């Protein structure tokens, strides 16, 4: 199942590599391209690219089961080995935190565990998906009546909160239902504004992929990644207004930066480079 591939953001001049886990497509905030551009060091830098078809397959029928997740992560770590690089750090942004920990754990089975650096980490629960839905629907304000926008958000909230089970299958089902609800309003908004079905389809597909990515991240069992052993080599950097909630580890440092520009701040790049330089994972001969 081809869910993830690695895109090179920077070539390296040695065997060491930094992996970055995120779903940055369409984001207006600064992302890993901005961070990597100012990151000191000679390591190659590879960022995750999630395939829409692969995400859909993971969520099909019974949703993201532990077996599907395990096979997917094994494939991701195999793909790193195929690149002939030695990962010394796995960076993550937002929902990517759990996936970064899982990837680091799989890589540890092949040698030393790479350091994990979480940037504004998020533990995905049903309310997280609901928040993304509300954000997307409120973005249609002005194209739809205020009453319809509010009713759409309220209806989704009632449905999501009626069954707060945070399991992977539950998150998959939640993502699919919110995708269907968004389709109903985004197609109507584009029709009423004479913007065409092509734009509506593009917006709907992007939103669906974001939901499926977050639901995938939320399906990682908490006991597998937030254990004391996993947290030992984990660094957490947060922006000024980011709030950490259990079971996330405490912040290593907070930066006086808003979320939108956080990953573009040069002082963050220096801090991340320091973690990479101290990584216990040695370069291969």
Sorting pLDDT into bands at 50, 70 and 90, what band is 168? Answer: low
In a domain, 283, yes or no: no
Give the count of domains, the chain.
2
pLDDT at residue 281 in the model? 45
- pLDDT at 34 > cutoff 90: yes
Q: What is the mean pLDDT of residues 178-202?
A: 96
Say how far apart CA 170 and CA 184 lie, in whole Å. 22
DSSP letter string over 42-87? Answer: S-EEEEEEE-HHHHHHHHSTT-S-HHHHHHHHHHHHHHHHHTT-EE
Query: Who has greater pLDDT, 182 or 161?
Result: 182
Q: CATH number, domain at 41?
A: 3.40.50.1820
Is the same domain home to 56 and 195?
no
Decide if 69 contacts 41 (C-beta within 8 A). no
In a domain, 50, yes or no: yes
Say how far apart CA 262 and CA 52 lie, in whole Å. 27
In a domain, 189, yes or no: yes
Is the same domain home to 242 and 118?
yes
pLDDT at residue 280 in the model? 47
Is the same domain home to 155 and 58?
no
In a domain, 284, yes or no: no
Is the same domain home to 191 and 140?
yes
- pLDDT at 82 > cutoff 80: no
pLDDT at residue 167 in the model? 59
Angle formed by the axes of helices 126-138 and 168-192, to 10°?
A: 10
pLDDT at residue 285 in the model? 43
Most confidently modeled range among 6-10, 80-84, 228-232:
6-10
DSSP letter string over the chain? Answer: ---EEEEEEE--SSSEEEEEE---TT--S--HHHHHHT--SS-EEEEEEE-HHHHHHHHSTT-S-HHHHHHHHHHHHHHHHHTT-EEEEEEEETTHHHHHHHHHHHHHTTSSPPEEEEES-----HHHHHHHHHHHHHTTBTTB-HHHHHHHHHHHHHHHHT----SHHHHHHHHHHHHHHHHHHHHHHHHHTT--HHHHHHHHHHHHHHHHHHHHHHTS-HHHHSSHHHHTTEEEEE-TT----TTSPPPSEE-S--TTTGGG-HHHHHHHHHHHHT-S-PPP-
Sorting pLDDT into bands at 50, 70 and 90, what band is 83? Answer: confident
pLDDT at residue 112 in the model? 77
pLDDT at residue 140 in the model? 96
Query: Minimum mean pLDDT among 14-28, 174-188, 221-235: which range?
Result: 221-235
Q: What is the mean pLDDT of residues 219-243?
A: 78
pLDDT at residue 186 in the model? 97
Q: What is the mean pLDDT of residues 242-252?
A: 86
Is the same domain home to 108 and 43?
yes
Is the same domain home to 259 and 119?
yes
- Global pTM reads 0.90
Sorting pLDDT into bands at 50, 70 and 90, what band is 248? Answer: confident
- pLDDT at 228 > cutoff 70: no
Is the same domain home to 16 and 115?
yes
In a domain, 256, yes or no: yes
In a domain, 52, yes or no: yes
What mean pLDDT is reported for the chain?
88
Is the same domain home to 252 and 204?
no
Say how far apart CA 14 and CA 7 lie, in whole Å. 17
Q: Which domain holds residue 139?
A: 126-165+168-218
Query: Who has greater pLDDT, 81 or 183?
Result: 183
Is the same domain home to 175 and 225?
no
Going by DSSP bridges, is the β-strand pair 44-50/4-10 parallel, antiparallel, or unpaired? antiparallel
Is the same domain home to 188 and 64?
no
Decide if 17 contacts 45 (C-beta within 8 A). yes
In a domain, 282, yes or no: no
Is the same domain home to 101 and 136?
no
Q: What is the mean pLDDT of residues 32-50?
A: 93
pLDDT at residue 25 in the model? 83
In a domain, 285, yes or no: no
Is the same domain home to 97 and 155?
no
């Amino acid at each position: 199942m081809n869910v993830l591939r690695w895109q090179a953001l920077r070539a390296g001049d040695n065997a060491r590599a930094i992996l970055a886990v995120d779903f940055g497509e369409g984001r207006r905030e600064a992302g890993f391209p901005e961070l990597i551009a100012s990151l000191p060091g000679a390591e190659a830098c590879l960022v995750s690219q999630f395939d829409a078809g692969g995400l859909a397959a993971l969520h099909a029928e019974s949703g993201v089961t532990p077996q599907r997740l395990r096979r997917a992560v094994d494939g991701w770590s195999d793909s790193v080995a195929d690149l002939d690089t030695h990962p010394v750090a796995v960076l993550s942004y937002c929902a990517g935190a759990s996936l970064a920990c899982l990837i680091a754990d799989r890589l540890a089975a092949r040698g030393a565990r790479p350091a994990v650096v979480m940037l504004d980490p998020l533990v995905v629960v049903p309310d997280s998906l609901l928040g993304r839905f509300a954000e997307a629907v409120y973005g249609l304000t002005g194209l739809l009546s205020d009453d319809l926008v509010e009713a759409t958000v309220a209806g989704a909230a009632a449905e999501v909160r009626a069954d707060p089970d945070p399991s992977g299958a539950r998150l998959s089902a939640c993502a699919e239902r919110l995708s269907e609800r968004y389709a109903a309003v985004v197609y109507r908004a584009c029709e009423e504004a004479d913007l065409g079905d092509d734009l509506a389809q593009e917006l709907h597909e992007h939103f669906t992929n974001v939901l499926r990515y977050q639901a995938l991240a939320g399906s990682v069992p908490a006991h597998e990644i937030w254990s004391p052993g996993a947290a030992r080599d984990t660094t957490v950097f947060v922006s000024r207004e980011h709030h950490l909630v259990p079971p996330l580890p405490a912040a290593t440092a907070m930066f006086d930066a808003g979320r939108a520009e956080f990953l573009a701040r040069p002082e963050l790049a220096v801090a991340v480079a320091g973690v990479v330089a101290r990584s216990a994972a040695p370069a291969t001969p």
